[in-house]
């Protein structure tokens, strides 16, 4: 019989290393994908130390492969002269049928690929990509108002139950 894992063990299984909070505000998310990142050893160590930034990063499809651009992974402090380039383009590993779907949607429908978060899944470093469409300024305001109203409703319901 399998034992149930407690909350601490489950949270350790998925550990966020970087989250692109601005993306959820600025874009309308249509679909999300999970992929692997092809990294060098010093990049992995730096990511595990939480020294990665996703702000202003995006993904592009070139020759049937997906690449991550403008993602900053800081130098690993203990690497000496064998460090990596912090702004280099990194390959994202996705399934072939997912890439084919992404090619169609990004070329025709005006969607963009952006990373939402980088996290550890077990010992593997994963990236969550989103297929997004930009929001206008008034749409951002409407989304914020809606979120505030929903939060107030939930608080009122909780207060009423007590």
pTM for the model: 0.74
CA nearest to 132, candidates 105, 95, 100: 105
Q: Where are the domains of the chain?
A: 15-135
Structure tokens at 151: 């939060």
CA distance 76 to 49: 9
Per-position pLDDT tens, the chain of length 162: 455 555 555 555 788 888 998 888 888 889 999 999 988 888 888 888 888 888 889 999 999 899 999 988 888 887 777 777 778 899 999 999 999 988 888 887 778 899 999 998 988 899 999 999 887 777 778 888 888 999 999 999 988 887
What dotted CATH number matches 15-135? Answer: 2.40.280.10
């Amino acid at each position: 019989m399998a034992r149930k894992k407690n909350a601490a063990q489950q949270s350790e299984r998925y550990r966020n290393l970087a989250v692109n909070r601005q993306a959820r505000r600025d874009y309308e998310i249509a679909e999300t994908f999970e992929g692997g990142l092809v990294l060098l050893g010093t990049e992995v160590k730096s990511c595990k130390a939480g020294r990665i930034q996703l702000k202003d990063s995006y993904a592009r499809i070139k020759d049937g492969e997906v690449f991550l651009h403008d993602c900053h992974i800081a130098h690993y402090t203990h690497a000496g002269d064998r460090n990596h380039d912090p702004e280099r383009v990194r390959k994202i590993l996705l399934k072939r049928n997912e890439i084919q779907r992404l090619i169609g949607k990004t070329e025709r429908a005006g969607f963009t690929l952006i990373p939402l978060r980088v996290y550890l899944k077990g010992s593997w470093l994963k990236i969550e990509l989103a297929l997004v469409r930009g929001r206008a300024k008034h749409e951002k305001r409407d989304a914020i108002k809606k979120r505030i109203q929903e939060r107030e409703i939930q608080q009122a319901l909780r207060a009423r139950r007590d």
